[in-house]
Structure 1
Amino acid sequence: MIRVLVADDEPMIRAGVAAILASDEQIEVVAEAADGREAVERVRSVRPDVALLDIRMPNLDGLSAAEQIRRLVPETAVIMLTTFSEDEYIGRALAAGAGGFLLKSGDPRELVAGVRAVADGAAFLSPKVAHRVIAQLSGERLTRAAAAREQIAGLTGREREVLALVGAGMSNADIAGKLFVVEGTVKAYVSTILSRLGAKNRVQAAIVAYEAGLVGD
């Protein structure tokens, strides 16, 4: 069972998100919060698998809450939920350590898919968000590609292989099956890769993999 916290300052939004998630028998909403500060407190006490945070909330915004949650309760994955798709929010969400970014205007099925993917150790971006991220990368591709290639230079061949699969959006379980190793081994590889790349999470590592050419367009 995937245990989820939903944080949004609008009660109707919280209720709607909870109802959508409840449609999946593998997901349980175990806590709700009306602002960012309460979200951090609830995560610290309930320790959910995933915290779904609205970006604009009173007292403490979702991005700041995400940073605190990732620092205080690193085992809880974070997904940002917003009506805004501006580049500044996308970049700050990824920098805050969010493992997913979904738009409230997106398909409800994306919400369930995103929670399941992030809980399974993968990354998930709404297709509209992914398009904007890729567009940003393409605009600075040559410079960023050189920097990314330098970042992965110190990785072993196996670590690069695992990084490429992370970049392709595969979960630890999927990677383990593809490489014929146990999932614990994959987790160890991913942890080492994140450390060597200086990446906060799989999303940032996936971007490095893309920029370095380990993942095809």
Structure 2
Amino acid sequence: MILSAAENITLEQTRQRVFLALFVALAVVLNTLEFLLPNPVPWFRIGLANILGITALFCYGVRELWLVNLCRIILGSLLVGRLFGPGFLLSLGGGILSATMMSCGFSLGRKRIGPIGVSVLGALGHVSGQLLVAWLVVVRHPGIWLLLPFFLLFAMISGIVNGLAAHFLLNSLAGHAAFRGLRERLDILTGQPDLHQQQSGN
């Protein structure tokens, strides 16, 4: 069956909506599972759900990053019964600052910052936002900021891990018909178009 150009565009948009809904659902599931797992230190979670937010950012754009992040925070908190509690406020504060830093890094360094760099920015923003909310709402004591260097170190490690996972996921999705322009964007980040041009010139 041969589809017209308009039908092909409609089919591609439908595929993209399906993938976006899947990203949101997976982010909510990962966020909920990570909350239910035993955690020896408060707030210390690797943030696996951020992988889906980063993937949505590179596949779609800034608006979809915010959609995935806010949905997984709100729906995840609703599922575990902590909506509007202190834990929800911590997640929301961290999520907002994280999404803001990832959005700025992606928009300003579109051809220079890849998934790993964006992930590290988001992780640093998340722990900073959580500490700020904790200081404002939970523990009103300046000593809480002494934890910031330790939290930032952990955030950098988790950001690299999540960024690598998002990088592999994006490369897998780049071959799908729903994301035709994704491979070109990833190649620009890695400098492969320049390499291809040099090889063709030789």
* TM-score interval for Structure 1 and Structure 2 normalised by the shorter chain: under 0.3
- Structure of larger gyration radius: 2
TM-score by length of 2: 0.24
Q: Which has the higher contact order (CA 8 A, sep 6+)?
A: 2
Q: Going by fraction, where is helix more abundant, 1 or 2? A: 2
TM-score, normalized by length of structure 1? 0.23
